Amino acid sequence: MKENKYDEVSFFEQYGKMNRSLNGLDAAGEWHVLKEMLPNFDGKKVLDLGCGYGWHCRYAIENGAISVIGIDISEKMLEKAKLF
């Protein structure tokens, strides 16, 4: 089993204070480059491994994906992703 720091209370609390955690993809420094590399999602089924807060899952749905599955080792991340 991989180490899961994200479910440690103090780590998760600090992670939640990061700008990208609070404001999503637009707050991620690499987003403007990564966004250009992504395919057209129209009609696609998407699997997001290590989905975290689910920002990329939401982006895929908002951009035409018919199905998105987000998977993460962290129960806390999955709980957060379900809130959005």
**What pLDDT, in 10s, does the model give residues 49-84?**
999 999 999 999 999 999 999 999 999 999 999 987
Q: For the chain, first and last CA: distance in Å?
A: 28
The C-alpha angle with vertex 45 and arms to 41 and 51, in degrees rounded to 5, equals 90
pLDDT tens readout for residues 1-58? 678 999 999 999 999 999 999 999 999 999 999 999 999 999 999 999 999 999 999 9
Q: Which residue in the block uniquely carries the two structure tokens 């080792």?
A: 73
Type and span of the H or E element at 48: strand 45-49
> What are the tokens at 83?
């809130």
CATH number of the domain encompassing residue 32:
3.40.50.150
pTM of the model: 0.88
Total of domains in the chain: 1
Q: What pLDDT does 1 receive?
A: 60
- Print the domain residue range for 61: 5-83
Place of tokens 């990564």: 34
